[in-house]
A and B are shown apart, each in its own frame.
Chain A
Amino acid sequence: NAGVTQTPKFQVLKTGQSMTLQCAQDMNHEYMSWYRQDPGMGLRLIHYSVGAGITDQGEVPNGYNVSRSTTEDFPLRLLSAAPSQTSVYFCASSYSFPSWGVAFFGQGTRLTVV
C-alpha cells in the first residue's frame, strides 16, 4: 500500500501561474482533504470531500479549487498563484467522515511562489 501520495514534493511558481497539486490514495477512503501549513502554525483546512462528486470549502478556500471525480484522487488547483500561497500543502484521507483520529497524511508539497 502506498497510502497517501502527493506530487510534486517541491514546486516553484511565478506569480500568476496556475498549477495542480496531485493527491492520490489507495485505501478506498471516502473522506479526503487539503491543508496548508505556514511557518510556526498548525494546519488549516482548505477544501475537503466526503466522497466522489462532493466537495466543500474549509477555513481558507480562496484562491484554490478542487474536484473529486474518483474516490482515489483529489487534486488541488491554484488558479493564479500569489506569494501568500507559499506554504507546505498536505493532503489527508480517512475511512469515514470525520474520522480524524485515523486520518492518513501525505508527505507534503512545498510550494514557493515568487
Chain B
Amino acid sequence: GESVGLHLPTLSVQEGDNSIINCAYSNSASDYFIWYKQESGKGPQFIIDIRSNMDKRQGQRVTVLLNKTVKHLSLQIAATQPGDSAVYFCAENRNAGNMLTFGGGTRLMVKP
C-alpha cells in the first residue's frame, strides 16, 4: 500500500470523458509551472509544462491552462483512460530558481 495521498481530493470520471484538474498557486512571481503524474509506488513523471508568457499549451491528449490574474493552473485530459488513474501534482518555479514548490495533489480515478 501507499502512505502518501491518504487525504487527497479525488476526481472520479468515466472512461472516455474529459478530466479537468485544478491547481491554485501561491507566488505571483512564479514564472514556470509543471504538471506531474504519480502512479502508485512510483516517482513523479513529467506531463507538461508552461511558462508565464503563455496562457495555454497543448500536448498529446493534455492541455494546460494558466490564468495569472487569479493564479490558477489547470490540466485537461481528453478522453480519459484507465491508465490515467494516478495522483497529479502541479509545481511552480520562480525565476529559474533552484526550488520547485509542489501543490498537494489530486487523485484521479477513472471508472470503466
Contact = CB atoms under 8 A, between A and B. Distances in A.
A56 B99 CA distance: 11
Contact of A45 (B4, B41, B42, B100): B100
Contacts of B34: 100-101
Given A40-B5, A100-B100, A107 B32 contact: no
A78 interface: no
Chain B, interface residues (CB within 8 Å), range:
20 to 34
B68 to A, nearest CB: 19
Interface stretch (A13-21, A65-73, A90-98): A90-98
Interface in B67-112: 89, 91, 93, 96-105
Given A37-B4, A59-B99, A88-B4, A42 B46 contact: no
A26 interface: no
26 contacts: A4-B43, A39-B6, A39-B7, A40-B8, A40-B105, A42-B101, A42-B103, A42-B104, A43-B89, A43-B91, A43-B102, A44-B102, A58-B99, A100-B32, A100-B93, A100-B100, A101-B49, A102-B46, A103-B46, A105-B44, A105-B45, A106-B43, A107-B41, A107-B42, A108-B41, A110-B3
Interface of A: 4, 37-45, 48, 50, 56, 58-59, 88, 90, 92, 97-98, 100-103, 105-108, 110
